[in-house]
Amino acid sequence: MGQTVTEKILAAHLVEGELVKGQEIGIRIDQTLTQDATGTMAYLEFEAIGIPRVQTELSVCYVDHNLIQSDFRNADDHRFLQSVARKFGLYFSPPGNGISHQVHLERFGLPGKTLLGSDSHTPTGGGLGMLAMGAGGLDVAMAMAGKPFYLVMPKVYGIKLTGKLSPWVSARDVLLEVLRRLSVKGGVGYVMEYFGPGVAELSVTDRASITNFGAELGATSSVFPSDANTREFLASQGREEGFVELVADPDAEYDEVMEIDLGALEPLIACPSSPDNVVPVREVAGKPVAQVLVGSCSNSSLRDLMVVAKTLETREVSRDLSFEINPGSRQVLENLTAQGDMLTLVKAGARVHQAGCLGCIGMGQAPPTGAISLRTFPRNFPGRSGTKDDQVYLCSPEVAVAAAITGKITDPRELGEYPHFAMPQKYLPGDSRIEPPLSAGDGAAVEIVRGPNIAPFPAFKAPPADWQGEVLLKVEDNITTDHIMPAGARVLPLRSNVPAISEFVYEAVDVDFVKRARERGPGLVVGGDNYGQGSSREHAALAPRYLGVEVKLVKSFARIHKANLINFGIIPLTFADPADYDQLAQGEAVRIPGLCEQLAAGAEKLTLEAGSRQIPVRLEVSPRHREILLAGGLLNWASRQ
């Protein structure tokens, strides 16, 4: 039987297990990336593993999230990361150089390679035909140490593209359509693989917008084939030598297939406050808009900002809103400037910011109270913008610029003729600030610079033979990592300081949680479906664990969060019968007799006792995971290997 692109890349990197769907496999990782918000912890973990130099083909340390320096903390973190990159043999992309995913696509990604990144939008690299996955920092640290990355062999969801996008409809609308059809949990367990004649109609940066935003489906990754457009993109980046063709065999079989006629798509928009709350723009047209932000790893490539600039050439931005541009990379900035498009943006009234995540992760750019903010970003979880009752809509650059002009949500097709333009044959590389790795000798001599905000990594104990605790919190479906461990300007600077950051755990859900966990822990958190969706931040496992959360019992988990729980020794249980969710109340005492014995024996069915009730629960983890849980976490386990 023929193979999909996904299977070809997995087969070429397989080091443990067999390519059998649903089983755990170990694969070799060629490239890694980290960003500062998850990177500080990942490098503290890498140090704890004790390997003097990264073992991958290429690893890059980016600084893109915490760019606001309102005190010493972020600046200290940036210097720590630069010194770490120098010491351990990584490339370093400094603050202002751009968002990890955009820069990686431009300067480092290669078809056929595997990329593991400590950020959930790492699948952006799938636009180049690489298998690019998000993971917790500790998994990335292990990959940097040359260890395999373990994952459940994914199923492959084939998305057949036909036709050609109409004017004013763009790549972003493709994934909004997939989200509309499948929801934020529709991709769990799958790699979304694109094929069909419509693929040739999309450039690499369009494809990358799609694979990036595919993270919102809960998918393991998303991937496009590597074809003539891939070669053209690599050539425009001066990197054509890295091109290899990679397409699915004609008789490849997908586990599921859906078809999208690109020509039938219209401009779409995700309404507050979930990326899958998608409707056609015309259904919400006319609502007044207070803020329009174009940027983020999803939609701030040169094409995205050029379409905005070209549309504004003969138009002005409404005075009733704030219109802001967050370029994806220094490369994008340099090319926009050289082409004269920057002048158009500035003259039209845009507020142009440095390249980075900024408002997407609540580092500035909070919208006004109760007002509508239109963003080309991938996420609109409640409160993520920094404003409590925010009204964030997600849309394409075309829809964003239309609103910027009219001051209200507008179907961009009403603007008239589409600004057709050609992309440069050769980009200005914009990479002069990226530091290449030092030699092993020079690296060994580097001293790591540690500011006072870098706290030591906490140690965790192995679980007791018979576990008992209290239900410390009960939450609903679709809890995001933003609910568990918020981001934003107050909290992000504490990412390298577990005791300090743990003060914010579940703040958005229950302000008394931290106090209660301290007084009454150890304990358990009960949750609904798709628990832990969203980001890869391991702090959403690490900080609750630090507060005494030792077990989580939910209807279903999001992939990266479940892996992070195991890495920090939290037992990830699911209800055997989801209806039993209703049986447990916050504050109840619960027990799991014989926990360790059952962990060691490979038991999948366990019993949780609450008073006289016996609740059947499931523990679906690999034998390796069981050893990790018995050791109290991955670092404990690895130190015994």
* Residues recognised as catalytic: 64-65, 119, 379, 535, 537
Determine if 359 is a binding residue for ligand SF4 (CB under 6 A).
no
Residue 217: contacted member of ligand SF4, ligand MIC, none (CB under 5 to 8 Å, by partner type): none
Task: Note whether 98 binds ligand SF4 by CB under 6 A.
Answer: no
Contacts of 92 (CB under 8 A, 6+ apart): 60, 61, 81, 82, 85, 86, 434, 435
Question: Which stretches of the chain bind ligand MIC, using CB under 6 A?
Answer: 37-38, 65, 119-121, 134, 361, 379, 487, 534-537
Q: Which of 175, 196, 201, 195 is nearest to 186 (CA)?
A: 175
Binding mask 365-384 for ligand SF4 (x = CB under 6 A): ------------xxx-----
Q: Which of 260, 360, 374, 473 binds ligand SF4 (CB under 6 A)?
A: 360
Q: Strand pairing partners for 392?
A: 373
The residue (of 361 and 608) whose beta carbon lies closer to ligand SF4 is 361
385 binds, among ligand SF4, ligand MIC, none (CB under 5 to 8 A by kind): none
Rounded distance between C-alpha atoms, residue 151 and residue 28, angstroms = 11
Q: How far is Cα 86 from Cα 92, in angstroms, rounded to an integer? A: 8
Three-state SS annotation for 253-265: CCCEEEEEEHHHC
Stretch that binds ligand SF4, among 343-351, 353-361, 468-476, 626-634 (CB under 6 A): 353-361
Binding partner of 95, given ligand SF4, ligand MIC, none, CB within 5-8 angstroms per partner class: none
- 210 lies in the site for ligand SF4, by CB under 6 A: no
Q: In terms of CB distance, is 326 or 574 closer to ligand SF4?
A: 326
* Minimum CB distance to ligand SF4, residue 76 (Å): 20
With respect to ligand MIC, which residue has the nearer C-beta, 121 or 180? 121
Give the integer Cα–Cα distance in Å for 624 and 78.
35
Site track for ligand SF4 across 292-331, x = CB under 6 A = ----xx----------------------------------
Location of structure tokens 């290669």: 110
Contact 546, 493 (CB under 8 A): no
Which of the ranges 141-149, 260-268, 357-365, 430-438 carries the binding residues for ligand SF4, by CB under 6 A?
357-365
Which of 331/535 has CB closer to ligand MIC? Answer: 535
Helices (H) and strands (E) in the chain, counts: 23, 26
Q: How far is the CB of 394 from ligand MIC (least distance, A)?
A: 13
Beta-carbon neighbour count of residue 623 at 10 Å?
9
The DSSP line for 87-144 is: HHT-EEE-TTBB-HHHHHHHHT--TT-EEEESSTTGGGGGGGT-EEEE--HHHHHHHH
Residue 137 C-beta: closest distance to ligand MIC, Å: 9
**Which one of 13, 86, 121, 561 is in contact with ligand SF4 (CB under 6 A)?**
121
DSSP state of 219: B
Closest to ligand SF4 by CB, 357 or 635 = 357
493 binds, among ligand SF4, ligand MIC, none (CB under 5 to 8 A by kind): none
Calculate the CA dihedral of residues 155, 158, 159, 160 and round it to 10 degrees. Answer: 180
Closest distance of CB 357 from ligand MIC, Å: 6
HSE at residue 322, side-chain half, CA atoms within 13 A, is 16
Helices 330-339 and 341-348: crossing angle in degrees, nearest 10, is 90
**Residues 188, 219 contacting (CB under 8 angstroms):** yes
Minimum CB separation of residue 466 from ligand MIC in Å reads: 35
Which listed residue (30, 36, 76, 119) binds ligand SF4 by CB under 6 A? 119
C-alpha radius of gyration, the chain, whole number = 24
296 binding partner (options ligand SF4, ligand MIC, none; Cβ < 5 to 8 Å by kind): ligand SF4
Closest distance to ligand SF4 from the beta carbon of 410 (Å)? 24
CB 162 within 8 A of CB 140: no
Binding site for ligand SF4 (CB under 6 A): 65, 99, 119, 121, 296-297, 357, 360-361, 377-379
